[in-house]
Amino acid sequence: MIQINNLVKVYNGVTVLNIGNLEIQKGESFGLVGNNGAGKTTLFSLLLDLIEPTRGFVKSNGIKVNESEAWKPFTAAFLDESFLIGYLTPEEYFYFIGELRGQNKADIDTLLKKHEDFFNGEILNKKKYLRDLSKGNQKKVGIIATLIGNPEVIILDEPFANLDPTTQFRLKKIIKELADDKNVTILVSSHDLAHTTEVSDRIVAMHKGEIVKDIRTSEETLKELEEFFAV
């Protein structure tokens, strides 16, 4: 589904990302782990064509993301709060995204209904703008919004951060469900090794912009990762 070819990003002479070759299969649940500055967000930004690659390219479903925009209809992402529109209520935001993705109000309402427990009664009909919600609640809105319109590629940067324990469990359930769907390729980055191993069937560890580990998740994965990151 996603092909990365000799992708290099250089800022002021410092190489922050250098990935020779990486292929993510359709339907794969892909976990990305690494310390701060490992290049996780840079990689995701490159996948979404939000920053320009210094060299190399990313292909999504055969489309070079920095040359065509045809990847946008089947891709959804939530990287940070700049993916939210602060002056909208959560409902308005969902409908807005829905309209851009060709969904009608009823489709959105069904989706929201389905994830009612994920919102934990703190999001809908609260008469609050997104800018006035807490960080965790904002994240909930952003994550559910990526599910609108049945995208084939979903990219979530640090989705577990800022979420309360109960919501983390619920999110894991949602991601696992998506992972079971063979049409959906889901990419999740995290600092939390346990969460990532639980929801991903393939884990890539990055360090200083390079891929240092690429493993199929198994019983020993968590241990292996913990050993790798322990100093």
Partner 1 sequence: MFKQFIRLEWKAFTRASSFATNVAIKVFMILGALYFGAAFLLLGVGSYYLIKEELHQDPLVLVSKFAIYYMVADLLIRFFIQKIPVINIRPLLVLPIKRGKIVNFALGKTAISFFNIVHSFFFIPFSIVLLVEGYDPVNVIMWHVGMMALIYCNNFINILVNDKDWVFWTVAIILGGMGIIQYYSFFDITIVTSMFYYGLYSTYYMFIIPVAVLAGLYYICFKYFSDALYLDTGLKGKHEIAQTQDYKWLNQFGVTGTFIKNDIKLILRNKRSKQTLLISVMFLFYGLLFGSGAIEVYDGPMWKIFGGIFVTGGFLFTFGQFVPSWDSSYYPLMMSQNIQYREYIAAKWWLVVVVTVVSSLLATFYLYFGVEMYLLILAGAVYNIGVNSHLVLLGGAFIKTPIDLASSKQAFGDKKAFNLKTFLLTIPKLLVPVLLYAAGYYLISPQAGIAFVAAAGVLGFAFRNKVFKMIEKVYITEKYETLAAYKQKN
Q: Which residues bind partner 1 (CB under 8 A)?
A: 48-52, 69, 72-73, 75, 77, 79-80, 82-89, 91-92, 96-97, 99-101, 127-129, 131-132
Rounded to a whole number, what is the distance in angstroms from the first to the last CA of the chain? Answer: 35
Nearer to partner 1, 3 or 54 (CB): 54
State the minimum distance, in angstroms, from the CB of residue 52 to partner 1.
4
Nearer to partner 1, 12 or 165 (CB): 12
State the minimum distance, in angstroms, from the CB of residue 57 to partner 1.
15
Nearer to partner 1, 88 or 222 (CB): 88
- Residue 176 has, within 13 A of its CA and on its CB side, a CA count of 11
Nearer to partner 1, 21 or 134 (CB): 134
Report the Cα 170 to chain-centroid distance in Å: 16
| Per-residue tokens: 95 | 């409908």
Nearer to partner 1, 35 or 82 (CB): 82
Distance CA 78, CA 116 (A): 19
Nearer to partner 1, 42 or 197 (CB): 42
Distance CA 154, CA 33 (A): 17
State the minimum distance, in angstroms, from the CB of residue 83 to partner 1.
4
State the minimum distance, in angstroms, from the CB of residue 84 to partner 1.
6
Q: Please give the C-alpha separations between residue 178 and each of 2, 35, 106, 160, 231, in angstroms, as whole numbers.
A: 17, 26, 21, 16, 34
State the minimum distance, in angstroms, from the CB of residue 72 to partner 1.
4
Distance CA 221, CA 33 (A): 12
Q: Which residue in 181, 159, 176 sits closest to 78, CA to CA?
A: 159
Distance CA 144, CA 203 (A): 23
State the minimum distance, in angstroms, from the CB of residue 54 to partner 1.
11
